Amino acid sequence: MNASLSYAHLNAAAQTFGTPLYVYHAEKIEQQYQNLLTQFELTQTRFFYACKALTNIHILKVIKEMGCNIDCSSINEVKLALHVGFLPSNILYTSNSVGFDEISTAVELGVHVNIDSLSNLEKFGQQFGASKAVGVRIRPDVMAGGNLKISTGHDKSKFGIPVAQMDALKSIQEKYKINVRTLHIHTGSEIKDVAVFIKSAEVFDTLLPHFPTVEVLDFGGGFKVPYEPGEQGTDMALLGAEVNKAMKQLSEKYGRNLIAWFEPGKFMVSEAGFFIAKVNVLKTSGSLTFAGLNTGLNHLIRPMFYDAYHHIDNLTNPDKPLKQYAVVGNICETDTFAWDRAIPTIEEGDLLVFYNAGAYGYEMASNYNARFKPAQVLYQNGEAKLISRADQFEDLLTLQVPL
Ligand code: LLP
């Protein structure tokens, strides 16, 4: 099965729900999950969808119904997951720089928790002692990921407990007899190189002798998906084979039945999402042609924030001859989606479609310039369903104290 939405589907959704519009495809999300299950033959490997990529509850329901677990990065994401009906035992909360009250709430709710500072681990010990199992996030001092902004494992990164501070970690663990069940490492997003994950296994290997209660090795997320035409993502078959091998070796070496966990975000939803916008204005300046859209960095910030590439096609006229465009937004500062991109010849009023819009697209959208956030639509079993409406003017005032 190669699940994909046709341009007829996307055009129909734009017709019905207007633009700008985010459109997602449930079957594609399922296909990605099935792909993971196939590659990781160790039946005990567990996948937790990193829901920070896209938290709409209808998407979370799709994730839950296909049997996937969920990874959360805030207590509110935990509450959304519970709201959707995930069992606490299927929810993971990987905290970063949070007040201890969030950790304590999560523990009381019965979800798995990864702690990423010595300070919060000490507070955990004081409050819970040995009564609850917990995970610790380690910073392995490894540089990985698509760019510095999305790299989290290097030696200047704020994430995790530096591997060099293992003695301090161990003494807190011993002082409170903390039941450390999970060791966690997440080195970044868009990691193509399988060796990075094996490096995590090597770091786990150095720690395992000191933490005899550890049963879970959490490798985080960060699998790369293709963005540009012809680009390769992480070789999932190779990753599965290598991780399975490493897990088997570590389990044998330590005489423990170690289980691997992963927290994929982009891998699950990036390719299942499309963002559709309309060309309001064509403007030429010398050799440049600007296509000005009815959207901007307020709706899709990745190109401006990370220099991220999103493939763009002309949804209205995909077969016209290619022409070069600067594709720009309608925001009051430079918000260029693509600086010089070949796109089938555009006329004002045409719809453009952005690929890979499922992860960190809508989720990072804002109301900058007091513009409305777009609607979101989910295709499932061939039917398009509205899963969040666009803002209306009143929404801009909802949180503001009336004059
Ligand atoms: N686990 C942890 C602890 C994480 O911090 C993240 C992502 C993930 C899992 C999921 O990573 P993924 O599989 O999605 O690469 N907004 C950026 C990506 C930031 C990722 C933050 N943490 C972007 O649009 O590229």
Which residue's alpha carbon is nearest to atom 9 within ligand 1? 221
How would you write the pLDDT of the chain (403 residues) with one tens digit per residue? 467 899 999 999 999 999 999 999 999 999 999 999 999 875 689 999 999 999 999 999 999 999 999 999 999 999 999 999 999 999 999 989 999 999 999 999 999 999 999 999 999 999 999 999 999 999 988 887 777 887 788 888 888 899 999 999 999 999 999 999 999 999 888 989 999 999 999 999 999 999 999 999 999 999 999 999 999 999 999 999 999 999 999 999 999 999 999 999 999 999 999 999 999 999 999 999 999 999 999 999 999 999 999 999 999 999 999 999 999 999 999 999 999 999 999 999 999 999 999 999 999 999 999 999 999 999 999 999 999 999 999 999 999 999 9
List the end-to-end C-alpha distance of the chain, in Å, as a whole number.
Answer: 56
- Give me ligand 1 centre to Cα 289, in Å: 34
Burial string for 13-26 (b: 16+ CB within 10 Å, else e) reads bbeebebbbbbbbb
Specify the amino acid at residue 189.
S
List the catalytic residues.
332
Question: Per the domain annotation, does 201 fall within a domain?
Answer: yes
Q: Is residue 290 part of a domain?
A: yes
Residues 278 and 375 in one domain: yes
Residue span of the structural domain in which 172 resides? 95-264
* Ligand 1 close to Cβ of residue 265 (< 6 A): yes
Q: Is the CB of 243 under 6 A from ligand 1?
A: no
Ligand 1 in reach of 192 Cβ (< 6 A):
no
Residue 50 CB–ligand 1 contact under 6 Å? yes
AA identity, residue 241: A
Is 173 a pocket residue for ligand 1 (Cβ < 6 Å)? Answer: no
In a domain, 67, yes or no: no
Q: Is 7 in the pocket of ligand 1 (CB under 6 A)?
A: no
Query: Considering 246, 264, 282, which residue would you say is the last residue of a domain?
Result: 264
Same domain, 140 and 238: yes
> What is the distance between the alpha carbons of residues 142 and 256, in angstroms, rounded to a whole number?
26
CA nearest ligand 1 atom 6, residue: 221
Looking at the structure, tell me whether residues 193 and 336 fall in a common domain: no
Tell whether 124 and 231 lie within a shared domain.
yes
Tokens of 331: 């925001």
The CATH number assigned to the domain holding 343 equals 2.40.37.10
Choose the residue to mutate in 197, 218, 263, 270 for probing ligand 1, maximizing ligand atoms within 8 Å of C-beta: 263
Q: Ligand 1: which atom is nearest the Cα of residue 359?
A: 24
220 lines ligand 1 (CB under 6 A): yes
Same domain for 201 and 315, yes or no, is: no
Specify the pLDDT at position 224.
Answer: 96
Name the burial class of residue 152, with classes exposed (0-12), middle (13-18) and buried (19+) by CB atoms within 10 angstroms of its CB: buried
Atom number in ligand 1 closest to CA 360:
24
Burial of residue 251 (number of CB atoms within 10 Å: 0-12, 13-18, 19+): middle
- What is the atom index within ligand 1 of the atom nearest the CA of 152? 5
Same structural domain, 274 and 241: no
Angle CA(363)–CA(217)–CA(176) in degrees, nearest 5?
100
Pocket flag, ligand 1, residue 20 (CB < 6 Å): no
CATH, residue 155: 3.20.20.10
Residue 116 lies in a domain: yes
In terms of domains, do 225 and 328 share one? no
Round to whole Å and give the CA distance between 52 and 344: 33
Last residue of a domain, one of 234, 264, 294: 264
Q: Specify burial of residue 59 (Cβ count, 10 A radius: 0-12, 13-18, 19+).
A: buried
pLDDT of residue 1: 46
247/347 same-domain check: no
What's the CA-to-centroid distance between 132 and ligand 1, angstroms?
27
Question: In angstroms, rounded to a whole number, what is the distance separating the alpha carbons of residues 248 and 353?
Answer: 44
Residues 197 and 243 in one domain: yes
Q: Is 273 in the pocket of ligand 1 (CB under 6 A)?
A: no
- Report the 10 Å Cβ neighbour count for 68: 23
Q: Ligand 1 mean position to 198 CA, how many Å?
A: 19
- According to the model, what pLDDT value does residue 43 have? 63
With a 6 Å cutoff on the Cβ, whether 302 touches ligand 1 is: yes
- Of 102, 220, 120, nearest in space to 178 by CA: 120
- Residue whose C-alpha is closest to residue 218's, from 124, 123, 93: 93
Phi, psi of 144 (to 5 degrees): -155, 160
Q: Which structure tokens are listed for 317?
A: 């006229």
Choose the final residue of a domain: 264, 281, 316: 264
Domain membership of residue 185 (yes or no) is yes
In a domain, 225, yes or no: yes
The Cα 123–Cα 99 span in angstroms is 10
115 - beta bridge partners?
A: 136
Asked if 276 contacts 19 with a C-beta cutoff of 8 angstroms, the reply is yes
Number of structural domains, the chain?
Answer: 2
Three-class SS of the chain = CCCCCCHHHHHHHHHHHCCCEEEEEHHHHHHHHHHHHHHCCCCCCEEEEEHHHCCCHHHHHHHHHCCCEEEECCHHHHHHHHHHCCCHHHEEEECCCCCHHHHHHHHHHCCEEEECCHHHHHHHHHHHCCCCEEEEEEECCCCCCCCHHHECCCCCCCCCEEHHHHHHHHHHHHHHCCEEEEEECCCECCECCHHHHHHHHHHHHHHHHHCCCCCEEECCCCECCCCCCCCCCCCHHHHHHHHHHHHHHHHHHHCCCCEEEECCCHHHHHHHEEEEEEEEEEEEECCEEEEEECCCCCCCCHHHHHCCCCCEEECCCCCCCEEEEEEECCCCCCCEEEEEEEEECCCCCCEEEECCCCCCCHHHCCCHHHCCCCEEEEEECCEEEEEECCCCHHHHHCCCCCC
User: Ligand 1 centroid to 184 CA: how many Å?
Assistant: 14
* Spatial separation of the C-alpha atoms in residues 375 and 21, rounded to whole Å: 5
Residue 221 alpha carbon to ligand 1 centre in Å = 7
Distance 306 CA to ligand 1 centre (A): 13
pLDDT at 32: 97
pLDDT score recorded for residue 4: 84
Same domain membership, residue 287 and residue 258: no
Q: Do 251 and 384 lie in a common domain?
A: no
**Centroid of chain to Cα 213:** 29
Q: Are residues 110 and 209 in the same domain?
A: yes
Assigned domain for 311 exists = yes
Residue 161 lies in a domain: yes
Pick the residue whose CA is nearest to atom 24 on ligand 1.
Answer: 360
- In angstroms, what is the span from residue 107 Cα to ligand 1's centroid? 23
